[in-house]
Amino acid sequence: MKDLKYLAALSLPLSAMISFYFKEHWSFFTPIYAFVIIPILELLLPHDTSNLEGEEREEKTKSKLFDWMLYFNLPLVFGFLGFLLWDVSNHTYQTYELVGLVLSMGIVLGTNGINVAHELGHRNNQAQRTLAKLLLLPSHYMHFYIEHNFGHHAHAATAEDPATARLNQSVYSFWLTSTIRQYGSAWKLQRQLLKRDQLPFLSIKNDMLWYTLIQTGYLVTVFFVFGALGLLIAFCSGVVGFLMLETVNYIEHYGLMRKKLPSGRYERVREVHSWNSNHVIGRIVLYELTRHSDHHFKSSKKYQILDYYDISPQMPYGYPTSMVLSFIPPLWFKLMNPRIPKEMVLAA
């Protein structure tokens, strides 16, 4: 039964269901649940630093249950989005209610959409990668698949990585720089991939062109089916979704830098180049994303068997709580800067 603990990740869509059903001030229930209730639970519940061993590890590696818990997010995300767009296009709500509904939908897109897409996008199975790209669609972030897999994992914890926050960079500055630079990096990486395969820019294998067409088609379809308000809700929900991702990117590598070797290359990515958290609630609702060092050590490793390392820098709070703290830059800097290894501070 304890394998079903990851169903707790569905508590975020459940909170969105409450927001969608009751409306009025309840439309803000999902952000309150994500950034108030979950952080409180993280403070109350103990950490879990244990790793799986032996037969149990082998059994969980092969179990399809963990995959199906990810797959279920696809109909869930698009079902919730479709219902919300139908609802707002057929009923009249006050502006503050629409704001709450956008925030609620955006949080679902960020956690049960992009975060699950991140996990599936690292799999070797083409069908799973396709599901990943579909889950990125409503957040307007299909390019994340290319940039993250071919860019971030090669350049994490370096100045060349758009998704690594520099020392004393605020999350608001990072939203802007990371969003713009990642999109540009995705095009650059796509051109390199085409060149490697000796293919022209206008090739059927130019995924960035496909992503542009598909995402444009998605928004055009939303406009014709759900009208201008539906388009606005879909667009803004997607923005909230990818800002959720960028906030997680911000806290994952903040201030951690790899050493540049005499050869001009960087040292390899090690367990010390990602912030980790063993807070139980954050681990479960984010499908073990908080064990980020092991993910960078072997990106194809499934979420249910990710390990904790003693040498990995540990956050004082879980990822959800840390996201909230990052919204207050002076407090974030005061909390996190002293925890950054001295040699990395000097290299920054």
- Per residue in 68-86, pLDDT (tens digit) is 999 999 999 999 999 999 9
What number of other Cβ atoms are within 10 A of residue 101's Cβ?
24
| 312 closest CA partner among 297, 332, 333, 327 | 297
What dihedral angle (degrees, nearest 10) is formed by the CA atoms of 299, 305, 307, 313?
60
- DSSP secondary structure letter of residue 179: H
Q: What is the mean pLDDT of residues 160-165?
A: 96
d(C-alpha 13, C-alpha 111), whole Å:
9
Whether the pTM exceeds 0.85: the reply is yes
Whole-angstrom distance, CA of residue 208 vs CA of residue 340? 36
Given a cut of 80, whether residue 143 has pLDDT beyond it is yes
Domain count for the chain, please give it.
Answer: 1
Q: Is the pLDDT of residue 265 over 80?
A: yes
Give CA angle at 276 (271, 279), nearest 5°: 145
- Residue 78 sits in which domain range? 2-347
The pLDDT value given to residue 51: 92
Using alpha carbons, select from 259, 291, 297 the residue that is nearest to residue 278. Answer: 291
Residue 344: pLDDT over 90: no
Provide the H-helix boundaries in 254-289.
Answer: 280-285
Reduced to 3 states, what is the DSSP secondary structure of residue 31? helix
What are residue 65's phi and psi, to 5 degrees? Answer: -55, -40
Contact of 45 with 281, CB cutoff 8 Å:
yes
Question: What residue type is 53 in one-letter code?
Answer: E
Residue 265 backbone dihedrals phi, psi, to 5 degrees = -90, 165
User: Torsion angle, CA of 204/137/240/87, rounded to 10 degrees?
Assistant: 140
Whole-angstrom distance, CA of residue 210 vs CA of residue 136: 13
**211 and 142 Cβ atoms separated by less than 8 Å:** yes
Neighbours of 53 (CB within 10 A): 9
The confidence score (pLDDT) of residue 298 equals: 83
pLDDT at 260: 87
Using DSSP, state whether 199 is helix, strand or coil. Answer: coil
CB-count burial class (<10 Å; 0-12, 13-18, 19+) for 124: exposed
Residues in the chain: 348
pLDDT in tens, 82-115: 999 999 999 999 999 999 999 999 999 999 999 9
Cα 270 to Cα 277: distance, rounded to the nearest angstrom: 16
pLDDT for residue 184: 97
Sign of the torsion angle spanned by Cα atoms 322, 325, 330, 334 = negative
User: Residue 1: its pLDDT value, please?
Assistant: 64
DSSP state of 49: -
**Residue 300 banded pLDDT, cuts 50, 70, 90:** confident
% of the chain exceeding 90 in pLDDT: 87
> What's the whole-number mean pLDDT along residues 251-255?
96
